[in-house]
Amino acid sequence: SVEDESLEFCEDTTMILTADLNNVSYEWSTGATTKEITVGEPGTYTVLLTDVNGCSATKTIELEQIDIPRIDTIISDGPSIIVSTSNDGDFEFSLDGFNFQTSSIFEAVEGGLYTIYVQDTSDCGVVAQSFFHLVIPKFFTPNGDSVNDVYEPEGLEVFNNVEFSIFNRYGKLLKFGNSNSSSWDGSFQGNQMPEDDYWFVIKADTTQFKGHFSLKR
């Protein structure tokens, strides 16, 4: 008897399809007349099997491709790292290549240089991409209670040369620092700056980061 099959194979590999019957002639939808064929494209394959008495049966094989993950973007969102893929699948994500999670969001990650790994759960291969995670606070509260008193991006120590600039909403430079001083206490020339939105520009080696944050009192 002939049984239809549904099979899966990994992207960029080949699959051997077999009719699995002896003493018959084979006529595949690809034109092949062998018992087995090697294919590398997903789709529907059929093979017409005919025995010596002229009795025929058709076997259908549905071949589905499992895609290798494609990393689209990796961004820092506060202390979180968010990974997006440009294709869908049963993907898992990791920061070390060993411990994988189904969520594409890594929470409460210290700033620094990381390698992001993404793999399909079917063992079709893993892709990796290096990523610099700059933890940028969305607000700070310089009120002297020792909690979030200083605006200080985290993770810049991996760079050789850092320039750190803070501007108010009118573009006035309030703070300029370097690798040794990339923080702001909320003051300018001894005066406490008002509660407002402020802008930062960080030049770290050949990379530039821009954004805004809130000063809350």
pLDDT digits (tens, 9 = 90+) for 174-206: 999 998 789 999 999 999 999 999 999 999 999
Specify whether 152 is located in the same domain as 199: yes
Confidence check: pLDDT of 169 > 80? yes
Mean pLDDT of 53-80: 96
**Paired residues of 200 in beta bridges:** 166, 211
β-bridge pairing 71-77 and 56-66: unpaired
Separation of alpha carbons 179 and 164, rounded Å? 8
Half-sphere exposure of 102 (CA within 13 A, CB side): 3
pLDDT averaged over every residue in the chain: 95
User: Helix, strand, or coil here: 158?
Assistant: helix
Specify whether 116 is located in the same domain as 145: no
Specify whether 121 is located in the same domain as 144: no
Specify whether 129 is located in the same domain as 153: no
Confidence check: pLDDT of 42 > 80? yes
Amino acid code (one letter) for 9: F
Confidence check: pLDDT of 61 > 80? yes
Specify whether 45 is located in the same domain as 85: no
Specify whether 211 is located in the same domain as 143: yes
CATH of the domain at 36: 2.60.40.10
Residue 127 near residue 119 (C-beta atoms within 8 A)? yes
Query: What's the number of domains the chain is made of?
Result: 3
Specify whether 149 is located in the same domain as 108: no
pLDDT confidence of residue 51: 95
pLDDT confidence of residue 14: 97
Proportion of the chain above pLDDT 70, given as a percent: 100
Confidence check: pLDDT of 12 > 90? yes
Of 108, 133, 158, the position where a domain reaches its end is 133
Mean pLDDT of 12-40: 96
Q: Per-residue pLDDT tens for 90-139?
A: 999 999 999 999 999 999 999 999 999 999 999 999 999 999 999 999 99
Of 112, 133, 154, the position where a domain reaches its end is 133
Domain that holds residue 51: 5-66
Confidence check: pLDDT of 158 > 90? no
Which among 91, 198, 48, 206 has a CA at the least distance from the CA of 136?
Answer: 198
Residue whose pair of structure tokens reads 């509660």 in the numeric block: 195
Specify whether 16 is located in the same domain as 34: yes
Separation of alpha carbons 11 and 68, rounded Å? 6
CATH of the domain at 174: 2.60.40
pLDDT confidence of residue 1: 77
Specify whether 207 is located in the same domain as 171: yes
Specify whether 123 is located in the same domain as 156: no
Specify whether 39 is located in the same domain as 53: yes
Of 66, 89, 108, the position where a domain reaches its end is 66
Specify whether 76 is located in the same domain as 22: no
